[in-house]
Amino acid sequence: MKLKWAYLAILTGIAGLLAGCEPLLVLNPKGPQAETTANVIWLSIITMSFIVVVVLVMLTVILFKYRASKQDPDYEPPHIEGNKYVEGIIVTIPILIVAFLSVVSTISTHQVESPPEGYSEDEPVVIYASSSNWKWHFSYPEQDIETVNYVFIPTNQNVEFRLYSHGTISSFWIPQLAGQKYAMADMTNYMNVVAEEPGEYMGRNSNFNGEGFAENEFTVTALPPSEFDSWVEDIHNTADPLTEEKFEELLEPGHLGQMTFTGTHLDFKPAPEGENSPHNHGGSPDSEEDGGHHHH
C-alpha cells in the first residue's frame, strides 16, 4: 500500500511539473485548423476523463467493500446471472458517448479537410511540398520559386499545400498550424493551412523513412502578406535558377540544410496529380482527381 501512495505522489509531481511548463505544441494552436483539433482533443479528454473516473470510483468502492479480509468468514457470495436493466445501462451510456463523439469526429474532420471558415472564398496560395530522403522541397508555382527545408507563408491567407514524395512515404506535419497528412509517390494529397499569427513554427516529417528520419525537419515562417511578397521579390533578385541536373542532385539521400532557387522542379518533374498520376487510367478531365478527391 505504501508503494501505491509513493506512486501517486510521483504522478502528482509529474503533473505539477508539467503545469509549470510551456503549453504543449499541439494544444497551442496558431491557426484555425490546429485550433479545431486542439478543441476536439480537449473535449475528448474531458469526456474520457469522466469514464475513467467512473471506472476508478466503482473499482475502488468495490475493492474496499467486498475484499475478503473485511468480510464474515462464512459469507458465501451469491450466484448472479446478470440483470437486463443493469446491462441495459452499461450498454446505453457508452453508446450515447460514442454517438456524441461520432458527431464531433465527423463534423471536425470535414472542417479540417476543407479551407477554414472565412477563408474559403479566396483563391488559395498553392505550395507543393514534396519529400525526398530526408528533405522537403517547397515549390511555389505562382511565385516561380523553390526552397528546401524551409517555407515562408503569408499570414491570414489560406495556403494549399500539395503533398507528394519522390520516394518513401513521409508525413507532412506542422503541429501548431494543422494536423499531418502523408506525402506519397503515387498520389498527391491536399492540405489547407492558415497561420493567423506571424512567427516561426516547427514542421517535420513524422512518418519513419529511414536513417535520416530524426533530422527530417523544416521551419515554417508566417509573414504578413506584404513582407511575404518582398521576400519573393528578393529571391528573384538573388537566387540561382533550379536546373533539372541540380534537382536530381538534391534528390540524393542526405541532409542539405536550407536552400533557395528561382523556378520550380514542377516544370520538368511534375507532381503525381491529374494526368501525371500513375494510377490515372484515362477518362474524362472531370474525373482526373485520383482516388475520388474533390478539389476545387
Partner 1 sequence: MDFFDRFTIPPHDDPMLYASIVAIGLVSIAIVFGVTYFKKWGYLWSEWLTTVDHKRIGIMYIISALLMLFRGGADAVMMRLQTAVPDNSFLDAQHYNEVFTTHGVVMIFFMAMAFIIGMMNFVVPLQIGARDVAFPRLNALSFWLYFAGAMLFNLSFVIGGSPDAGWTNYYPLAGTDFSEHVGVNYYNWALQISGIGTLMTGINFIATIMKMRAPGMTLMKMPMFTWSALITNLIIVFAFPVLTIALLMGTLDRQFFTNFFTTGDGGMDMMWANLFWIWGHPEVYILILPAFGIYSQIIATFSQRNLYGYKSMVASMVIISLLSFMVWVHHFFTMGQGAVANSIFSITTMAIAVPTGIKIFNWLLTMWKGKIRFTTPMMYSVAFIPLFTIGGVTGVMLAIASADYQYHNTMFLVAHFHNVIIPGVVFAMIAGLIYYWPKMFGFLLNERIGKWAFWNIVIGFCLSFFPMYITGLNGQARRMYTYSEASGFGPLSMVSFFGALLLAIGFVLIVYNVYYSFRYAPRNVGDDPWNARSLEWATHNPVPEYNFAITPNVNSSEAFWDYKKNGHDLFKGGIKDIHMPNNSGWSIIFAGIFFVFAFCFIFHVWVGVIIAFAGIIGCLLYRSFEKDDGHHIHKEEIEETEKKFGGAK
What part of residues 188-207 is at the interface with partner 1 (CB under 8 A)?
189-190, 202, 204-207
Helix (H) or strand (E) holding 11: helix 2-19
Identify which of residues 62 and 243 has a Cβ nearer to partner 1 in the complex.
62
Considering only residues 70-89, where is the footprint of partner 1 by CB under 8 A? 71, 75, 77-82, 86-87
Instruction: Report the C-alpha gap between 134 and 149 in whole angstroms.
Output: 9
SS3 (DSSP) at 77: coil
Closest CA to 193 of 114, 137, 138, 129: 114
Tell me which stretch binds partner 1 (CB under 8 A): 103-111, 139-147, 236-244, 263-271.
Answer: 103-111
Cis omega before residue 134 (within 30°)? yes
Considering only residues 208-237, where is the footprint of partner 1 by CB under 8 A? 208-214
Pairing of strands 159-165, 125-132: parallel
Helix (H) or strand (E) holding 60: helix 32-65
Identify which of residues 146 and 273 has a Cβ nearer to partner 1 in the complex.
273
Determine if 279 is a binding residue for partner 1 (CB under 8 A).
Answer: yes
Identify which of residues 114 and 157 has a Cβ nearer to partner 1 in the complex.
114
Tell me the site size for partner 1, rule CB under 8 A: 97
SS3 (DSSP) at 294: coil
Considering only residues 22-61, where is the footprint of partner 1 by CB under 8 A? 22, 24-27, 34, 36-37, 40-41, 44-45, 48, 51-52, 55-56, 58-59
Contact between residue 37 and residue 112 where contact means Cβ atoms under 8 Å apart: yes
Tell me which stretch binds partner 1 (CB under 8 A): 90-98, 115-123, 147-155, 254-262.
Answer: 90-98
Identify which of residues 90 and 284 has a Cβ nearer to partner 1 in the complex.
90
Dihedral (C-alpha) 212, 191, 183, 275: value to the nearest 10 degrees?
Answer: -150
Pairing of strands 240-241, 135-140: unpaired
The correct pick among 9, 12, 66, 118 for binding partner 1 (CB under 8 A) is: 66
Determine if 127 is a binding residue for partner 1 (CB under 8 A).
Answer: no
Instruction: Report the C-alpha gap between 67 and 69 in whole angstroms.
Output: 6
Q: How far is the CB of 4 from partner 1 (least distance, A)?
A: 8
Identify which of residues 56 and 142 has a Cβ nearer to partner 1 in the complex.
56
Instruction: Report the C-alpha gap between 99 and 88 in whole angstroms.
Output: 16
Binding pattern to partner 1, positions 135-174, x when CB under 8 A?
Answer: ----------------------------x---xxx-x-x-
* 3-state SS, one letter per residue, for 258-273: CEEEECCHHHCCCCCC
Q: How far is the CB of 283 from partner 1 (least distance, A)?
A: 16
